Every structure is written in C-alpha cells, then in structure tokens.
Amino acid sequence: MASASGLLVSRGVRKLIRQPMALVMGLATSLFFLVVYNAGIGGIGNLPEFGNAGYLAFLFPLSIVSLAMGSASGAGEALHADMQSGYFKRLYLSPAPGWAFVAAPLVADGLGTLVISAALLGVGALFGVPFRFGWLSVVGVLGLSMLWGTLLSALSAGVMLRTGSHQGARAVTTAVFPLIFLSTTFLPRALVTSGWLLTVSWGNPVTYLLGGMRFLLGGTEPAHYLWIGYAFTALGALAAMLFAMSSSRKVLV
C-alpha cells in the first residue's frame, strides 16, 4: 500500500518537473506586478506608517499570496486530466488506498509552491526586501505560503472531484480572489479611509495571512497577526484536505 502511494506521489512530482511552465509563468507574473506597483506607488513608503522597512517589504507578501493562488487549481486539473484519460479509473481499481489518488497531486502542488516561493524570496532579497528575523523569517513565510497553497489546492481538487469539471477547480481561485482586495492589501490600516473596507478586513482571513508575513519581513504588523495567520491557514488546510480526501469516494468510475 505504502509503495503504491509512494509511486503515485513520485508520478505527480515528475509531472511537475517535466511541465514547470505554469510555475515559471506564475513567478514572472508576480514579479511583474511587484515591480509595477512598487514603481507606481512605492514613494509612499517614506510615510511613518511603513517604519524603516519601506513600501516594498509591505507589498511583497501580496506576491507570495497571489503566487500560491495562481497554482491552486493544479491538483484539480491534474485529477481531471487523469479522469478524462481513464487513468483515474485504473488507479481506483488498484490496491492503492483511495486517499493516495488525491494526495499525490496535492504533494506535487505543495512542493511546487515551496520551490517557487523560495525563488521569489530570493529575488526579493536581491531587491532589498528585509528579513526581520533572518532565516526564521524565510522559514515562517514559506510555511504560511505552503499552508495557503495547500488550502486552495485541496479545495480545488475536492470541488473538481465532486463536480467532475476542471472549471470547478478554477472556480475556487475565482471565489477567493476578491478577498485579496477586501484587505489591507496596498496600505496599512492607519491609511485606509473607507470605514466599510476596514470593517470587512477585520473578518477577512487574508488580512492576517498578509499581516503575518509583514511581521516577519518588515515588522509593520503586530505579532498576533502571525499566530492568527498560521492558525487560519493550518486549520483551513486540514479541513480542505479532509474535504478533498472524502471527495474521492464520491467519484463514479
């Protein structure tokens, strides 16, 4: 059983290595918007609300979060391709446990998110993004990125398995995307003047995800944002994985 599960995970990782273009394009897109936003409005980083870290450190977590969202439908689309080709049916009739069918693309997505987020952090360091706690900041940001990516990827896979449509996998990203802009995405809370946006942002989990990364990088958010961000992403990722695993039993083969 364990050997069959390992082979499925290995296959998912090999597919990712052979077809890295989606990850590379995601990295290029994140860097493009990071450079454009910083060039266009980065001058406000001289305001005291940004401390000594500058605007780039405040904006950088947005690139990490959006990068993970860009690859979130990968597991769902990989499962859909296997279902269309008949490979999923052969897997389903094999001795491998049912959860392994879903776990394999999730592991591949997780590794992809880890590698591409590390690459983005490396580029950020070259641009001068500060790491407040050194390597601990790097590890902390990568942990949040992986949990966030796993949450979205597992939701994507679960929805695809229950709907049988690759469009269902992409719908997860579409549904979550507005949360980015209903948060303190481009400005600190002290500079946001819209009362309704401030109210919504308090209940928006992306606020604490971004805030946790900002605490680790430039120290522009309080420490409790980090713990709330980790609690949300960890619990959300666990719930999403259970949803995806249970969804494998709903598939008609």
| Residue 223 neighbours by CB under 8 Å, 6+ apart | 215
pLDDT tens-digit map of 97-126 = 666 677 777 877 788 888 888 989 999 899
- 3 state SS of 131: coil
Closest residue by Cα to residue 54 from 40, 39, 42: 42
First to last CA, the chain: 21
Q: Say if CB 166 and CB 76 are below 8 A apart.
A: yes
- 3 state SS of 20: coil
Burial track 37-72 (b if 16+ CB lie within 10 A, e otherwise)? bbeeebeebeeeebeebbbbbbbbbbbbbbbbbbbb
Radius of gyration of the chain (CA): 19
Q: Is the pTM of this model over 0.95?
A: no
Strand stretches in the chain, DSSP E: none
CB atoms within 10 A of CB 216: 27
Amino acid sitting at position 172: V
CB atoms within 10 A of CB 219: 17
What letter does residue 251 receive in the DSSP assignment? -
Which pLDDT tens digits describe the chain residue by residue (253 residues)? 445 555 556 666 666 666 666 667 777 777 888 888 878 777 787 888 787 778 888 999 998 988 877 666 566 666 666 666 666 666 666 655 666 677 777 877 788 888 888 989 999 899 889 999 999 999 999 999 999 988 988 888 888 878 777 676 677 777 788 888 888 888 888 888 888 998 999 999 999 999 999 999 988 899 999 999 999 999 999 999 888 888 776 654 5
Distance between CA 23 and CA 35 in Å, rounded? 18
